[in-house]
Amino acid sequence: MKSSPHTKRSDADTTQQDRALDPARRTKDSELREWLDEWRWWLGGAIILSAVWAVQVLRTGMRFYWPVGPLGVWAAVLVAVAMWPRSGKG
């Protein structure tokens, strides 16, 4: 029976492809995924801090966006982690 390019792959084929992936690529993909997760945490923190700031503006009329300080430092750390050379584990 001929297989067409549109046939669904079996779990065994997928597992073989996963094993064939270069371990360095898997590590790099894992590190990228972790870094993107950190940015999701940053976004969540930005939303919470902005909500606190908005309540403060409504109550006191203060206009200075103070969350820029902690969010800026946090973002700078995330960018530095992305640019910092990685040392070998161990």
For the chain, the domains span 35-85
Q: Confirm if 45 and 74 have CB atoms less than 8 A apart.
A: yes
The tens digit of pLDDT for each residue in 34-59 reads 888 999 999 999 999 999 999 999 99
Question: Which residues of the chain fall below pLDDT 70?
Answer: 1-21, 23-24, 87-90
Structure confidence at residue 34 (pLDDT): 87
Structure confidence at residue 89 (pLDDT): 57
- Collect all residues with Cβ–Cβ distance below 8 Å to 57 and sequence separation of at least 6: 63
Q: Which two tokens stand for residue 38?
A: 């950190």
Angle separating helix axes 68-83 and 23-60, nearest 10 degrees: 170
* Alpha-carbon torsion (54, 55, 57, 63), positive or negative: negative
